Chains A and B, each alone.
Chain A
Amino acid sequence: MKNTSQVNPLENEAIYIFREVAAQFEKPVLLFSGGKDSITLVRLAQKAFYPAKIPFPLMHIDTGHNFPETIAFRDRLVNELGLELIVRHVQDAIDEGKVREESGKYASRNVLQTTTLLDAIEEFKFDACIGGARRDEEKARAKERIFSVRDDFGQWDEKNQRPELFDMLNGNIELGQNVRVFPISNWTELDVWSYIQREQIEIPSIYFAHTRATFLRDGLIWSAEDAVVYREEDEVVEERLVRFRTVGDMSCTAAVLSGATTISKVVEEIRASSISERGARIDDKRSEAAMEKRKQQGYF
């Protein structure tokens, strides 16, 4: 029989964190977007509670601007694993007049997700929301704790965070507060891909190279196949061989030129890449402090 000498410290840390969430909170939820990071979280959660089922539901805040491939993938995964999935729609908040749709060239529903998320947290009285954010993604996220306390407005008080020592996680909160939990805080993009490769985890097809009708704006490649991506008439559509490195809202996620059709080719490509993962996310380019501002307002 094997022993555990080939311990992956990041995997063991993530499993430890998942178990702390289940033990310290009454109503946790795993925020699931259908992207590679949340798919990795699902695999880690399965391992953390094996042979029992994952003891909390998944929740998807659907902007209505998701890649169709991602939604199909999400539904299949949930079915296969017998998980409970909650979906809340940004469209509902728009219809109720709670938030206003952005307009123009850079319109996105990314920011609008926050209202829907906070409403859902209140509706289900979730006290812990597990997410796939990583500290290497962005510099405001580099300051984030593993257990990050939010007040009842979902706000992140970045200058007044609890110190996190050893691997002891303090989940004590007041009624109305909730904690955002980031089990893969210490993973890098490459760590996630290597894990997907090692564990042979299935991921949506848009992560692999495919031919897509696209156009160029601000040096980035945008999908011209999906109506929600705003395109001006003089922006020329051309077929390109591309893949997506992150899977966010279609309107703010650009593609990259790539011939990587398998996981091992993707890993190779990322190892050699000189652009950061969020370099193709227009929502971060709005200003230097874009992420910090969104997080203060309760963004995940």
Chain B
Amino acid sequence: MEVLKIATAGSVDDGKSTLIGRLLYDTKSLTTDKLEAIEKKSKQLGYDYLDFSLATDGLVAEREQGITIDVAHIYFSTANKSYIIADTPGHVEYTRNMVTGASTSQAAIILIDARKGVIEQTNRHFFINNLLRIKTVIVAINKMDLVAFSEERYNTIKSDFETLMGKRDYQDQKISFVPVSALKGDNVVNKSEKMPWYTGKTLLENLESIAVQDIYNVGAPRFPVQYVIRPKTEDFHDFRGYAGKVYGGELSVGDEVVVLPSQTKSKIKAIYFHDENVETASRRSSVLITLEDDVNISRGDMIVKANDLPTIDKQFTAIISWMDDQKLTASSRYIVQHGVNKVLAKVACIHNKINPDYSGTEDTVDALGMNDIATVSFKLNKPIFYDAFKNHRTNGSFILIDSQSNNTVGAGFIQ
């Protein structure tokens, strides 16, 4: 079955958790015991409605404060698809959490409070989803019940949002709008009787119509070697297989390949998909490859097709989303984890930073703080094999690790 990962974005109190709870409830994904727990808790808190956010806010502190702190993963399915929703909080570490949630998602839902309309945060939510080149974005205009289900209000917000869309970098993004009331259940799973003027798809119908297969820009096949398998058993005495996941296009037996960084040429001898022999390894499959020639390959090397090489360089420029309390400064050192490859990196230059209101950029910056997004150049201690993020989602992205705390402190998108 197809699995669709969705990121959610909304400001505090836009009703994100309620919307997800509503999706679960109306698709009958909430089990009796979970529902009973929500009923009990809602009553205890003195609400006269079911607080669906209680289904997703999993930590004690979250329930105490009535907010979402950390990314939660929610699962539900229809006859057609399995869904994984990354419920990302709108607070403090908003950008960090949104980038994290969106990095593994293929679609996004942006929530707007119909009373407030397009606000500064909406700008940010849209910017991040566009930066991460999320192909399908659904703008859910929520709390329509509080604006008397007004078509005029919906149209104003829609047209305000369309103004934002003019500025986007990634123009192929598909954007659709749905007026909903998560609390009352209008246009989430079931068509609203209160908004006969809206003839489009409900939120769920929008999700159901996304074709998961078309989501990634394919790009050239890249095979980062994760692990070398040498069984040293009688049956597989001299066997040397290279384990990894195929990113981008596909690889087939007989393909002429180049191993990076040694640039050694060889041919694919066999492909094992788990315990079976296969002819072709399609993208995102975890396989084991053997080569015709005896090549010295270790973890972090990359097997690519001979006619389509990535950039091989000891420097690159990337958009960085900074995620740590400790600031990124010019000339500081980090570990770049690019796929399975880890190299040491030094900040060469911070070029410009996106303004907090996402209206433009600031040119003279010497440090980046939590939630900042900026263009940064790096120098590496050895070459990596990369593509631009816009051409290759996987081979164009990386994470930054602080070598002292070992924490993941940033995400990067190679220009």
A residues apposed to B, CB below 8 Å? 1-5, 7, 9-13, 15-16, 19-20, 22-23, 46-53, 135-136, 138-143, 149, 158-159, 161-168, 170, 172-174, 185-186, 188, 190-191, 273-276, 279, 288-289, 292
Contact = CB atoms under 8 A, between A and B. Distances in A.
A29 B347 CA distance: 37
B223 to A, nearest CB: 12
Interface residues of B, number: 78
B41 interface: yes
Interface stretch (B108-116, B166-174, B275-283, B302-310): B275-283
Contact of A276 (B34, B58, B280, B399): B34
Given A142-B56, A165-B408, A288-B37, A51 B77 contact: no
A139 B60 CA distance: 10
B299 A188 contact: no
B73 to A, nearest CB: 5
B323 interface: yes
Contacts of B71: 143
Contacts of A53: 231, 233
B82 A143 contact: no
9 contacts: A11-B286, A149-B406, A158-B70, A162-B407, A168-B398, A170-B401, A188-B75, A276-B31, A279-B32
Interface in B366-410: 394, 397-399, 401, 403, 406-408
A279 B63 contact: no
Contact of B226 (A12, A19, A138): A19
B96 A163 contact: yes
B84 interface: yes
A275 B33 contact: yes
B81 to A, nearest CB: 12
Contacts of B32: 274-275, 279
Contact of A292 (B58, B241, B279, B286): B58
A3 B280 contact: yes
A135 B59 contact: no
B140 interface: no
A4 B272 contact: no
Contacts of A165: 99-100, 103-104, 397, 399, 408, 411
Contacts of A173: 406
B397 A166 contact: yes
Contacts of B233: 51-53
Contact of A186 (B73, B239, B339, B397): B73
Contacts of A292: 58-60
Given A2-B279, A16-B245, A274 B31 contact: yes
The 8 A-B residue pairs whose C-beta atoms are closest, nearest first, are A139-B58, A47-B274, A52-B231, A279-B33, A3-B280, A172-B406, A15-B286, A276-B31
